[in-house]
């Protein structure tokens, strides 16, 4: 069994872990004792540059291992899907699917670079008379940290025309078509703010883009961390954490080199940053190793009140009477959005590139027509029937022809909304990993999704096209790429969460959670920028000892 000691161990390398690695790593260099920092990542090193021992296929001409393929042999290295195999809503159908990045860079290796600040009212949400976010957090309080992240990720606002911006910073034809659809229903699309690395990009996995041009955390925060001497191990899955007299012991399996080698590493300061599902699952597995005095979950809130960030995706086609093909696979995967409905209905719409493979197989949306096009709501309609009374089939020549028509004219879009956090993360019944579920949808969330689906359907129809059947209306399945919560932040002394405003466990000094898991509400926009800004804020307070014990003292 491998082992050892590091002063600081960070589990996970996404928008929480990468920021903490960069900031704490840089700070550690300034301390007299030069404390060591280790990042453990269960996925691979797609950059080919962070872990010399990483396995994972040949490095390509761009110097990394990323490939444009959807072969599951490859995609299983960069992403994973969590689901609820019990099918709690409808027999045989999962009730929630969560896609998460896997590898150095976490979610950033599968994200589209969308970098919007969360609206002020996201932080001001109240439930049962209690503000969901701790009082420390507001849009204004996070503003300087948003600015830091934007600077490091190279965030800028895209433009519509070549006259306004370089070619690689333009919205796409897909967005132009979307904007016209919005205009026809009285709404407006505007260019998005995006993190990119100076590339025109390609709407292709993962999530498109020329490898060296697409932005992810291996090019900025993680590179900074490496340059500060932070050690990074890929292929190391942490299975449990447990308290020791002076810190924590982390146990798991190191799969580099092909063999599964168990490891136990001790540390003084532990930062858990495995994402909403990963971090919640790790702590759920570890609860029994903490006694009552150091209970990890004194309020029984672990895994509870998980948000899907209101994600709801649909696909469809624009009509042939509309002058343009969409060519949705060209250009950046996401580059405009429609904020017109946010004031009244608390959602934004975003057109995006979705791989036809996933649409053809119907995990989140399908290429089938709904029986009742205007239906909305969970499990509200089924598959359309043809003239002979038979349901449309998701196979065969007719289906292939639809796919071939769909290619140039496909328009996929989704909403992100302020949902009411109805999800839950629990230990998997199969004994490994986690299940995620979404048993009931509140009236609040349902109303927002109904309004969003109605708006999206009207856009398709305004463009002479039609919206296909999505998995929520068909099977009741919620699908999200933006899970939030599971280890919610709370004020100390308030039994409404798992960690305090610095992400520190309420009863375990030096055990932090810093990632999507601590976000206590839906944000209504893509959350990566906010997760990173919260991490910047926590790192800053830890380093300065502002409102919490300074990192140097914790390591003394």
Window 316 to 375, contacts with another protein (CB under 8 A): 327, 329-332, 339-340, 342-343, 348, 355-358, 360-361, 363
Shortest Cβ 168–another protein spacing (Å): 8
DSSP string spanning 15-37?
Answer: TTHHHHHHHHHHHHHHSTT---E
CB of 107 to another protein, least distance (A): 16
By beta-carbon proximity to another protein, the closer residue of 139 and 450 is 139
How far apart (Å, rounded) are the C-alpha atoms in residues 416 and 408? Answer: 25
Q: Kindly state the smallest distance separating residue 524's Cβ from another protein, in Å.
A: 7
Q: Of 297 and 435, which CB lies nearer to another protein in the complex structure?
A: 435
Which stretch in 7-15, 177-185, 275-283, 379-387 sits in contact with another protein by CB under 8 A?
Answer: 177-185
The beta-carbon contacts of 282-289 under 8 Å, at least 24 apart in sequence, are: 282/11, 282/238, 282/239, 282/240, 282/241, 283/241, 283/487, 283/498, 283/513, 284/425, 284/426, 284/427, 284/434, 285/239, 285/240, 285/427, 286/240, 286/241, 286/242, 289/240, 289/241, 289/242, 289/243
Site for another protein in 415-444 (CB under 8 A): 430
- Alpha-carbon distance of 438 to 480, in angstroms, equals 11
In whole angstroms, what is the distance from residue 501 CA to residue 123 CA?
13
- Other beta carbons within 10 angstroms of residue 450's beta carbon come to 15
**Least distance between another protein and beta carbon 496 (Å):** 26
Q: Which of 54, 172, 279, 548 binds another protein (CB under 8 A)?
A: 172
Could you tell me which residues come within 8 angstroms of residue 221 by beta carbon, excluding any fewer than 6 positions away?
18, 19, 21, 22, 152, 532
Our CB check for another protein shows the closer of 194 and 502 to be 194
Nearer to another protein, 331 or 497 (CB): 331
Closest CA to 436 of 96, 160, 184, 143: 96
Q: Which of 55, 93, 138, 454 binds another protein (CB under 8 A)?
A: 93
Q: Restricting to residues 111-170, which ones interact with another protein according to CB under 8 A? A: 116-120, 157, 160-163, 166-168, 170
- Judged by CB under 8 A, the residue of 124, 141, 190, 255 near another protein is 190
Q: How far is the CB of 120 from another protein (least distance, A)?
A: 6
Nearer to another protein, 225 or 349 (CB): 349
CA distance 356 to 205: 11
CB of 20 to another protein, least distance (A): 24
Give the shortest CB-80-to-another protein separation in angstroms: 6
Choose between 252 and 524: whose C-beta lies nearer to another protein. 524
Q: Residue 156 contacts by C-beta under 8 Å, 6 or more apart in sequence?
A: 169, 193, 194, 196
User: Site for another protein (CB under 8 A): which residue of 90, 138, 187, 255?
Assistant: 187
**Pairwise CA distance, residues 306 & 327, whole Å:** 35
Residues in region 208-247 near another protein by CB under 8 A: 208-211, 213
Considering only residues 484 through 513, tell me which ones interact with another protein, judged by CB under 8 A.
none
**What is the phi-psi region of residue 485: left when phi exceeds 0, alpha when psi lies from -120 to 50, beta otherwise?**
left
Question: Could you tell me if 11 and 271 are in contact, meaning their C-beta atoms sit under 8 angstroms apart?
Answer: yes
Instruction: Please say whether the beta carbons of 13 and 25 come within 8 A.
Output: no
Q: Quick one: 61 or 443, whose CB is closer to another protein?
A: 61
Among 154, 377, 379, 408, binds another protein (CB under 8 A): 408
Number of residues that bind another protein (CB under 8 A): 96
Comparing CB distances to another protein, the nearer of 88 and 490 is 88
Structure tokens at 343: 């004031």
Minimum CB separation from another protein for residue 361, in Å? 6
Those residues with Cβ within 8 angstroms of residue 129's Cβ, 6 or more apart along the chain or in another chain: none
**In the block, which residue shows the tokens 């919640």?**
280
Residue with smaller CB distance to another protein, 170 or 238: 170
Q: Which of 13, 36, 88, 97 binds another protein (CB under 8 A)?
A: 97
- Asked whether the beta carbons of 236 and 256 are under 8 A apart, the reply is yes
Residue 397 makes contact with another protein by CB under 8 A: yes
Q: Assign 239 to helix, strand or coil.
A: strand
Residues 252-281 that bind another protein (CB under 8 A): none
Q: Which is nearer to another protein, 63 or 547 (CB)?
A: 63
Which 22-51 positions form the footprint of another protein (CB under 8 A)? none
């Amino acid at each position: 069994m491998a082992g050892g000691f590091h002063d600081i161990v960070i589990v996970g390398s996404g928008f929480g872990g990468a920021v903490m690695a960069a900031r704490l790593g840089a700070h550690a260099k300034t301390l007299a004792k030069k404390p060591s920092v280790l990042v453990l990542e269960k996925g691979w090193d797609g950059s080919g540059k962070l872990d010399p021992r990483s396995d994972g296929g040949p490095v390509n001409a761009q110097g990394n291992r990323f490939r444009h393929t959807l072969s599951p042999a490859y995609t299983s290295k960069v992403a994973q899907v969590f689901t609820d195999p019990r099918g709690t809503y409808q027999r045989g159908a999962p009730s929630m699917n969560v896609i998460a990045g896997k590898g150095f860079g976490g979610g950033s290796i599968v994200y589209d670079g969308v970098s919007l600040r969360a609206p002020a009212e996201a932080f001001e949400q109240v439930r049962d008379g209690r503000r969901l976010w701790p009082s420390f957090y507001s849009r204004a309080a996070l503003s300087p940290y948003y600015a830091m992240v934007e600077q490091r990720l190279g965030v800028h606002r895209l433009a519509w025309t070549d006259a306004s911006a370089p070619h690689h910073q333009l919205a796409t034809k897909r967005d132009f078509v979307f904007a016209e659809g919005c205009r026809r229903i009285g709404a407006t699309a505007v260019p998005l703010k995006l993190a990119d690395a100076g590339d025109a990009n390609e709407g292709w996995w993962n999530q498109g883009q020329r490898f060296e041009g697409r932005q992810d955390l291996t090019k900025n925060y993680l590179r900074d961390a490496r340059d500060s001497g932070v050690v990074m191990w890929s292929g190391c899955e942490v299975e449990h954490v447990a308290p020791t007299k002076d810190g924590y012991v982390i146990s798991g399996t190191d799969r580099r080199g092909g063999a599964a080698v168990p490891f136990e590493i001790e540390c003084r300061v532990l930062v858990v940053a495995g994402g909403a599902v990963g971090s919640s699952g790790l702590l759920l597995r570890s609860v029994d190793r903490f006694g009552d005095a150091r209970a990890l979950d004194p309020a029984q809130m672990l895994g509870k009140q998980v948000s899907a960030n209101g994600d709801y995706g649909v696909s469809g086609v624009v009509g042939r009477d509309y002058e343009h093909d969409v060519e949705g696979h060209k250009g950046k995967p996401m580059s405009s959005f429609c904020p017109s409905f946010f004031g009244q209905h608390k959602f934004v719409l975003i057109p995006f590139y979705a791989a036809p493979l996933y649409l053809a197989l119907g995990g989140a949306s399908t290429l089938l027509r709904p029986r009742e096009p205007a239906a909305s709501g969970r499990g509200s309609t089924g598959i359309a029937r043809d003239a002979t009374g038979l349901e449309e089939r998701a196979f065969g020549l007719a289906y292939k022809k639809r796919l071939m028509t769909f290619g140039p004219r496909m328009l996929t879009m989704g909403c992100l909304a302020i949902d009411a956090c109805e999800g839950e993360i629990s230990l998997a019944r199969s004994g490994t990993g986690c299940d995620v579920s979404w048993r009931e949808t509140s009236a609040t969330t349902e109303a927002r999704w109904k309004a969003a689906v109605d708006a999206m359907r009207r856009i398709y129809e305004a463009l002479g096209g039609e919206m296909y059947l999505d998995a929520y209306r068909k099977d009741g399945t919620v699908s999200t790429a933006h899970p939030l919560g599971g280890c919610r932040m709370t004020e100390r002394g308030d039994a409404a969460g798992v960690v305090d405003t610095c992400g520190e466990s309420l009863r375990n000094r030096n055990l932090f959670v810093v990632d999507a898991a601590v976000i206590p509400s839906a944000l209504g926009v893509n959350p990566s920028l906010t997760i990173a800004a919260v991490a910047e804020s926590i790192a800053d307070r830890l380093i300065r000892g502002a409102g919490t014990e300074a990192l140097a003292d914790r390591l003394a």
